[in-house]
Amino acid sequence: MLLAGLIATVVATSVLVDREHTLARLELERRTASLKARIEHAFVVPLQAVYAISSYLRATELRVDRAGFARFTAPTIQREPAIYALEWAPVVAHADRAAIEARAAAEGLAGWRITDTDGGGGFVTAADRAWYVPLLYAEPPNAALGFDLASLPDRKEHILRSRDGGYAIVSDRLQLVEDPPGLWAVAVYEPVWRDGAPPVDVAARAGALVGFAICVFRVRPVIERALGAAARDGVDVALTDPAGPPGDRTLWESRPGAAERVLSAERRHTAALTFVDRTWRVTVAARGDDAATLPRSRLVLFGGAVMSALAAALIAGVRLARRQRRAADDRQLGPYTLLRPIGGGGMGVVYAARHALLRRPTAIKLLPPDASDGEALERFEREVRLTAELTHPNVVAIYDYGRTPDGTFYYAMELLDGITFDELLSVSGPQPVARTVHLIRQLTSAIGEAHARGLVHRDLKPANLMLVERGGDPDFVKVLDFGLVKRLVPSTTEEDGDGGATAAASSPDAGLTRPGIMFGTPGFSPPEAMRGEPTEAAGDVYSIGAVWYALLAGRPPFKGPSPRAVGLVQVSSTPPAPSRWRGERVEHPEQVPPELDALILRCMDRKPGNRPPSAAALLAELDKLDVPRWTRDDARLWWATHGARVRAVVSRRRAEQALDGRHHETLPIDAARRRGG
């Protein structure tokens, strides 16, 4: 009996060790996500500094002098000691070399000339070349003033990459002369263009580039001020640049030797961090020798098991084994493995998942346990059945659906990797006119198919629309969440709960959308929905107009201190033309065609009869307008210029939201009630 008890104790201890390792891994992942988000946020400061210089140069139409540059940059230098220098390096043709050297002398830069390095830490007069990129201004001033950045192969590669790509870039790590070993810096190069934006034609960019705004900053003080000692307690952290030269990839480490340790540690976790055009890595490993320290729980369990009776040891082992099996089952739903929650709302919780056999990335939507009343279940099941009828490429695809044995409804759909219109607007503000037309045309086409099948979405808003890349188009729209969808024309038959068919005496929505009950989102759903009245196809047209309004204006059409206040304003007023707001939110707003303003406001007319009656009618009217065309090259250029910043901000916000998330228990499925079962 004692031998059996010892065997059971060993098994139970093994289960506990595995469980503790799992908990340690999850904690390490959580710490990594937290540290990455804080580091990412810290790097906003040097980015803001270099973008501010670029804006200042454009605002002065490049007529800046040394004194003005010093006055503009002084507050940033004083406030941010981690910044080593803020610099301006114009592109100078050989024919203009003498003129810029004379200009520098006139501004008090005695002895300033365009120089090369002499190979020993000094500078010599630069050899003749077709063009130069010398440091004209630097605050604080340093010995490199006049140095031609294009004279060094690695710096010239940065310059050409930024110029030809039309976007800001980050250098490899730098070792400043006055800094000790282990304190590294990087430089952010922001190209400044003659007309404010890079030409679409790559060949024309060489002539349009006038210089670079540069921010050189030390990485360590930026990160350590953001993290503090408490955030790094108990772990080693390293920030590395995989694209850097071999041997020079460490940008920061939490203590000397930490980078080498974390990169070779058996238990470590790595997260990708996007900074301008680079993807760096934050790697975290726990300190200490895990094998040398046995938790007190294991010592107590081992000693107690040796002295315990067979019955107590056996019961403990059985209980631990059952608990472990339940923990493994909690992440399974039939053939799908649930990975993590990625979103949720009033109509369900969404998980990222993977099919066990197909290995296909999938999104699973479940009706939350606290919304399990009959009406919510019926609306949830109706959503997936009606969405599955749609085959338009701009509508999220449905793979599978069914119910768990306890009646919890779920469905599987394609997992999208992109950003919502809501996230795009919160980071980027008003969009180019041609881009809004391109996006709305796709949205209207998708809703047009729904209307042709007698379906109304009823909850179109920026949070339910996503931008993904499909078929080489980085601005491809996907319509999500048909949670409030309604059938306009009653079906002839409707399946009952047992798989049979019963005659539909009225719309399938009967009993689900009752007069006087408000459905939708204030500001984007039509006024009739805010009043609790029936919503038809013209209601979706109103929502499309409101989304279009937000894309052009960079803000919702209506604002208020609460959703109720927004709804009250909406049902009693018409917003001003969206072009009215662009002048306040865009430095150089492009002209919005008056007929575009008029069409949007007609879509948002408070009276449904004054709007285009359906998405197809709206699309026909849009096709008649002479509006700018947004090409795939336009989209690629936009993402090359702004994508890194937009994705970085969105990634940080999602990471912060994920830190507050919770894992949800799931259940096995009822095969008899699956789609086609």
DSSP 195-260: TSS--SSGGGHHHHEEEEEEEEEEHHHHHHHHHHHHHTTTEEEEEE-TTSPTT--EEEESSTTHHH
Collapse the DSSP code of 634 into the 3-class scheme (helix H, G, I; strand E, B; otherwise coil) and give the result.
helix
Closest listed residue to residue 569, CA positions, set 519, 516, 522, 515: 522
DSSP one-letter code for 620: H
Residue 118 CA to residue 144 CA, distance in Å, equals 12
What is the sign, positive or negative, of the torsion defined by CA atoms of 137, 140, 146, 152? Answer: negative
Q: Are 53 and 86 in contact (CB under 8 A)?
A: yes
Q: Are 516 and 528 in contact (CB under 8 A)?
A: no
Collapse the DSSP code of 412 into the 3-class scheme (helix H, G, I; strand E, B; otherwise coil) and give the result.
strand
Q: Are 113 and 101 in contact (CB under 8 A)?
A: yes
Neighbours of 664 (CB within 10 A): 15
Indicate if 459 belongs to the active site: yes
Residue 60 CA to residue 72 CA, distance in Å, equals 12
Residue 417 CA to residue 657 CA, distance in Å, equals 17
Angle, in degrees to the nearest 10, between helices 44-59 and 2-42: 20
Neighbours of 306 (CB within 10 A): 12
Q: Which of 459, 475, 540, 605 is catalytic?
A: 459
Task: Calculate the CA dihedral of residues 14, 16, 18, 24 and round it to 10 degrees.
Answer: -150
Cβ-based burial of 36 (10 A; exposed 0-12, middle 13-18, buried ≥19): buried
Q: Does the bond joining 140 to the residue before it have cis omega, within 30 degrees of 0?
A: yes
DSSP 310-331: HHHHHHHHHHHHHHHHHHHHTT
H-helix segments, 83-188: 97-106, 153-165
Query: What positions carry a catalytic annotation?
Result: 459
